[in-house]
Every structure is written in structure tokens, then in C-alpha cells.
Amino acid sequence: MSAQLNTAAYILSSDMIVQIDLELKKYPANQRQSAVMSALRIVQTVETWLSTAMMDAVAQYIGMPAIAVYEVATFYEMFETSPVGKHKITLCTNLPCALSGALDALTHLQNKLNIKLGETTADGRFTLKEGECFGACGDAPVFLLNNHKMCSWMTPEKIDQFLAALDNSGGAQ
């Protein structure tokens, strides 16, 4: 097992390991696999997506079969198992958002970014995804930026302002 941990430690950055270790402390020693979602989130925050090598490293580090890590990563929409743009915009198209303008927001985003759902802009800056309910129906239409920043009442005008702010800030959001 120590050789596996060395392999995982080589692939995972020291900062990732520190953060994963903090998550592991939340669970009994014999339940390390309970931290798998947190570990995958930590890795994806740094890498933007979960390569097979990164998922294997997580599996080795927390001591669970790689297939079990793949199952988690492919089950939950928040995890990406293929490359995405620097800014992943996930637009809610569930009924409350759709009735409140999400389809107009989607059309506007597609036209503005010149991509369709599931695509990434040629410059690698933006990926557009569709998501289901984010629990913010009162703020509809909504989208998530990089799985953590909720953007509410996204009219075409607000989308333009939001994208311009990303451009002006150098993308730090």
C-alpha cells in the first residue's frame, strides 16, 4: 500500500493532500471512502476536470477501488470526467427556470459564446452545460459558475454584464 500512496502523492499536489486529509479526519479511520466526494471536489477545483490518473490517485490515497471512485465521479453531474473550459456555466433548465426565462438565457448564451450545450469555446474559456434544479427557483433563471457561484435572475442583459465582468477581471470569479 505504501507504493500506492507514493504514486498517489506524486500525482496529487501537496495542497490537495492537505485538504483531503482534513476531509478524512471527519470520518472514522475505517470509513475513509466517505470522503470520496470531497476528495474529488478538491482535485477538480484545481484541475477543472477528473482524469483517470487523478481518479486513480484519489482511489489509492483514500484506499478504495478505482472503479468505486469512477462510479461516484460519473454519477454526479458536478464532476467532469473530460476537459471543460476555464469557466463552466451550468444553466438550470428545470420547469421553474424554464418558465422564468431559462430557455431565452440558454439561447442568448449559445449565441454569445457561439457554442451549444455540452460544448467548449474554441479558446477554452467557456463550457456550457445543462443542469437540473439548483434549489433556487425563486431566483430563476439561474446558473452555476464552476459548480460554486450561483448567478440569479439571468436575463440576457445580466448575462452580458456577467460575461463582461469575467473578461474585465481576468476571469477570477
Residue type, 17: I
Confirm whether 138 is domain-assigned. Answer: yes
Distance CA 89, CA 151 (A): 10
Whether residue 93 is found in the same domain as residue 55: no
- Does the structure show a pLDDT above 60 at 126? yes
The answer on pLDDT for 5 being more than 70 is no
Can you give the CATH number for the domain in which 160 is found?
3.40.30.10
Q: How confident is the model at residue 9 (pLDDT cuts 50, 70, 90)?
A: low
Q: Check whether 173 has a pLDDT greater than 50.
A: no
- Average pLDDT rounded to a whole number, residues 123-151: 89
What are the backbone angles phi and psi of residue 27, rounded to the nearest 5°? Answer: -125, 155
The range of the structural domain enclosing residue 59 comes to 2-75
The pLDDT tens digits of the residues spanning 84-123 come to: 998 999 999 999 999 999 999 999 999 999 999 999 999 9
Tell me the mean pLDDT in the region 55-74: 96
103-137 b/e with 16+ CB inside 10 Å = b? eebbebbeeebebeeeebeeeeebbbbebeebebb
Res. 3: pLDDT tops 60: no
- Domain check: are 44 and 95 in the same one? no
CA dist 25 and 66 (Å) reads 21
Q: How many CA atoms lie within 13 A of 46 on its CB side?
A: 16
Three-class HEC string of 46-63 = HHCCCCHHHHHHHHHHHC
Please give the model's pTM, rounded to 2 decimal places: 0.75
- Pick the last residue of a domain from 75, 105, 129: 75
Q: How many CA atoms lie within 13 A of 26 on its CB side?
A: 12
- Of 113 and 48, the structure prediction assigns the larger pLDDT to 113
If asked whether residues 154 and 93 sit together in one domain, one would say: yes
User: What domain count does the chain have?
Assistant: 2
Statement to judge: residues 122 and 146 lie in one domain: yes
In terms of DSSP H, where are the helices of the chain?
A: 2-11, 14-24, 36-47, 52-62, 66-75, 95-99, 102-113, 156-168
Indicate the average pLDDT of the chain: 89
Examine the pLDDT at 172 and tell me if it is beyond 70.
Answer: no
The enclosing domain of 54 has a CATH number of 1.10.10.1590
